[in-house]
Amino acid sequence: MNFIDLANKRRSVRNYKAQPIEQEKLEYLLEVARIAPSAVNFQPWKMIVITDKNLLNQLQDCYPREWFSTAPVCIVVCGDHTKSWKRSSDEKDYCDVDIAIATTYLTLAATDLGLGTCWICNFDVRKCVATLSIPKHMEPIALIPVGYPSDPNDLLEEKKQRKPLSELVEYK
């Protein structure tokens, strides 16, 4: 499959089979995220991989949606703003940008393996920090549930609603 087909195939999956993810597939996802580009190659992220069902249930307090508990794995992607690159002209912190790139790589790799993911940003950060004892210098930025979709049709290609290029691109 070429890259644009893979990108078109990625979906936000919100219901998962109880089937565990093979360790080699999980490690593959993490390796793909590890090799993602980052500003000045600082890689200011930490990925907390949660597979323990009790901890997954506790994490649901941070994002209380029934479907969330169906995922056999959740990856909490954290950023370390003390280790991220800052642009000298305006002190722009690239931590969130770097996290977005690594997380995108991870979600596309999951799609390539037939796994579903959902990028969750609207969660209770304080509860997440407390639940996982995340150090103060780390910021949980995204929760990424990962698993096999309960409905195989969740990964079927369908036309995504997107703006036309003419609204997003300007040539000069």
Convert the pLDDT of each residue in 11-66 to its tens digit. Answer: 999 999 999 999 999 999 999 999 999 999 999 999 999 999 999 999 999 999 99
| CATH architecture, range 3-168 | 3-Layer(aba) Sandwich (3.40)
Structure token pair of residue 20:
């565990």
Q: Where are the domains of the chain?
A: 3-168
Give per-residue pLDDT as tens, 109-135.
999 999 999 999 999 999 999 999 999
Mean pLDDT along residues 154-169: 80
Average pLDDT of the chain is 94
Task: Give CA–CA dist 123/102, Å, rounded.
Answer: 19
0.75 exceeded by pTM: yes
First-last CA distance in the chain: 33
Q: What are phi and psi of 67, to 5 degrees?
A: -65, -30
- 140 neighbors 133 (Cβ within 8 angstroms): no
Mean predicted confidence (pLDDT) in 72-94: 97
Q: Helix, strand or coil for residue 16?
A: strand
Task: Please give the average per-residue pLDDT across 139-156, as a whole number.
Answer: 88
| Res. 158: pLDDT tops 70 | no
| pLDDT at residue 110, as a whole number | 97
